[in-house]
Structure 1
Amino acid sequence: MKRSLLLLFVSGLFFLPAFSQNNTSAEGILDKSAAKVRSAKGINVSFSLTQKDQQNRVVSASKGNMKMKGDKYYINQGGSEIYCNGIQIWNFDGQNEVTVAKVDKDDNDFSPQQILTGFNKRDFDIKLVSSAGNSYQVGLTPLDKRQSFKQITLYINKSTSLVSRAAVVDKTNSTIEISFNNISLNASFDDNLFVFDAKKHPGIDIINN
């Protein structure tokens, strides 16, 4: 991965319908979820992120908040902040350094935004694992075995059609789990929220990638 674990969940766009169409039921569930997110005025959501090792022991845990408006987003997680205006991304360490880069639509990293709205990958094997209880459980396996992960499981709430939880298993069988809480689809944000203001941080070290 290109970034540290704290900033691992950073990029992503609205492409759930781009998944391979080998399971009509699972695809329909994903399409409905993506459509609901796309139609939102603005999204405000809290999330928790947990990393577990091969023995299912918790290695790290953090909480954060994400605000989204179209392809723009702002993430506050563990004191660090991520700003994206759809063109550039600012990764602020919360102290004295910010890294600036252009949005890379082909980035393989995962983010709360990407999991909530979909992935920009077309080569997944998709299946409906379970429809028991209050959520659909949808499994996504990359057809390209060179990917750094081997399985993604999405839990989509039947009542809201929104992703409530996701688990990403890497090739070492470590797992990163993310849960979403208090999702609001009618939030209103000024575009300035999604741009890092260096003037508010005099003397900050700006690193351009």
Structure 2
Amino acid sequence: MKNLKIKAFTFLFVFLAGITLSNAQDTKAKSLLNEVSTKVKSYKNMFIDFKYTLSNDAAGINQETRGDVTLNGDKYKLNLMGTTQMYDGKKLYTVIPDDEEITISTQDPGDDDAITPSKMLTFFNKGYTYKWDIDQSVNGRKIQYVKLIPIDSNSELKSALLGVDAQTKHIYRLIMTQKNGTKITITVNSFKTDQPLPGNLFVFDEKKYADYYINRLD
């Protein structure tokens, strides 16, 4: 489930990081996603408050929570399900208060297992087709969806729908559907840009966690 959650945010961050997709199957979809990329490239930083929903009707699972993430260049800080994940440009820190445990690892942008903004910039370039899909009206806003389908038939992902606000060109919603019936939905509640950020936002202060077990992976 952890990998599924990370992959969902990988999908979302790819577009927030401003990637331009190649090998398009749909000119309108390519044009819309490029507009999203152009818009977010102009921002120095982004803060996103979101709702995270996980459901599987067959398994009787229906969970809903909120989270937030701040992105500034290669650095980010994600709060979700009681866990904080922070990347300071060199090290990835995962803080789990319930277990009083912290995991620290060095992240290599070229590492296939590294979930960093650098990885997110290339994750989506190959392996998926995409096309223009439905639109919805949400509180007077037109949300246009682009459907993404993995080329690999062995992928556990069946499809993903990325909803874009047609006026602002901001991401509004991501819906991922797995072949096992699990659905992850991320809905953006608020999207703020170019905010004044504390100088220590991405600085890990070990002294604050004196009672925690620190697992240094490298």
TM-score normalised to structure 1 length? 0.83
More displaced stretch, 153-162 vs 35-44 = 35-44
Partner of residue 195, structure 1: 203
Q: For the structure 1 residues 127 and 8, does the alpha-carbon distance in structure 2 shift closer, same or farther, using more than 3 Å as the test?
A: closer
Larger mean CA deviation between 48-57 and 101-110 belongs to 101-110
- Does residue 101 in structure 1 map to residue 109 in structure 2? no
Q: Percent identity?
A: 23
**1:52, 1:175 within 8 Å by CA — same for their partners in 2?**
yes
1:145 CA drift (Å): 2.2
Q: 1:165 aligns with which of 164, 173, 178?
A: 173
Give the Cα–Cα distance (whole angstroms) in 1 for the partners of residues 160 and 48 of structure 2: 21
How do residues 1-209 of structure 1 correspond to structure 2 at under 5 angstroms?
Answer: 3=2, 13=14, 14=17, 16-55=19-58, 58-95=61-98, 96-103=100-107, 105=109, 106-107=112-113, 119-131=123-135, 133=137, 134-190=142-198, 192-209=200-217
After superposition, give the CA deviation of every residue in 1:134-156 in whole Å (9 maximum; x if it has no partner): 01110000112232312111000
How far does the alpha carbon of each residue in 1:70-104 deviate from its partner, in whole angstroms, 9 at most, with x for none?
12111122321110123321111024111122336
Query: How far apart, in 2, do the equivalents of 1:196 and 1:10 lie?
Result: 22
Q: Structure 1 residue 17: deviation in Å?
A: 1.0
Gaps of 5+ in 2: none
Tell me which amino acid in the other structure corresponds to 2:127.
D
Q: What SS is found at the alignment partner of 2:53? A: strand
The separation in 2 between residues aligned to 1:16 and 1:160, in whole angstroms, is 17
Answer whether contact 1:16 1:119 (CA < 8 A) is retained. Answer: no
Query: 2:103, 2:188 → 1: CA distance?
Result: 26
Aligned-residue offset at 1:4: 6.4
Question: For 1:139, what is the secondary structure of its paired residue?
Answer: strand
Contact 1:38/1:70 (<8 A) preserved = no
Cα distance, 1:6–1:156 mapped onto 2, change above 3 Å: closer
Q: How many residues align?
A: 204
- Cα distance in 1 for partners of 2:26, 2:106 equals 35
Contiguous gaps of at least 5 residues in structure 1 = none
Alpha-carbon spacing, 1:80–1:54, altered in 2? closer, same or farther (3 Å): same
- SS at structure 2 position matched to 1:193: coil
Distance 2:24 2:5 in 1: 33
More off after superposition, 99-108 vs 70-79: 99-108
Tell which has more relative contact order, 1 or 2 (C-alpha 8 A, sep 6+): 1
